[in-house]
Amino acid sequence: MADTGTDDEADTGGNDAAAGQAAQVEDMLDRSHSSRSNLSSAIDDAVRCEANGVETIEEITRSRKSQLAAAEALDTGALPSGEEVKESLVEALDASYRADAAFLSWARRYQDRGCTGAVARDRDYRRGLAHSKSAQAAKARFAELWRPIAETYSLTAWTADDI
């Protein structure tokens, strides 16, 4: 019986789809990394009562909300464990967004009060820390799922701290 090549074509098509989906996830991670790297300095600026701290946290929060919406729309069906990958990424970005929003609420109120009061005891600041902890756990789960995909497609093997 002659080989028509249909199976090979289907495999190649599947690999192309998976490679494209992996590249889209990689792009999402790159954008998320940029948001994360700016948050700590923005919080420090807000603690020092610098207006740009609040503005930067606002920008990060908007960006993270956009990233979350984009992650929810990702198609990961061709990737190994694609649904788990997407679920953990969405969970991580959602918790990160909630943390950013809580830090933003704190920073606005802190500056509105003339930058007085104990930062660590503020309810929104503590809520931001709690959401950050949840985000870190989801990011660790995602990173574990992502590593073999990244290796397969020569992409960045992101760690939880990088996302």
Domain boundary assignment for the chain = 6-152
Q: d(Cα 152, Cα 163) in Å, to the nearest integer?
A: 19
Q: Are 15 and 22 in contact (CB under 8 A)?
A: no
Say what the pLDDT of residue 14 is. 57
> Residue 86 CB: number of other CB atoms within 10 A?
22
Q: d(Cα 41, Cα 62) in Å, to the nearest integer?
A: 17
Q: Per-residue confidence at 11, pLDDT binned at 50, 70, 90?
A: very low
Q: Per-residue confidence at 3, pLDDT binned at 50, 70, 90?
A: very low
**Torsion 157-160-19-77 (CA) sign:** positive
pTM, entire model: 0.85
Residue 46 in this model has a pLDDT that exceeds 90: yes
Residue 144 in this model has a pLDDT that exceeds 60: yes
Q: d(Cα 157, Cα 151) in Å, to the nearest integer?
A: 7
| Helix extents (H) in 2-160 | 6-47, 51-73, 82-112, 123-152
| DSSP code of residue 151 | H
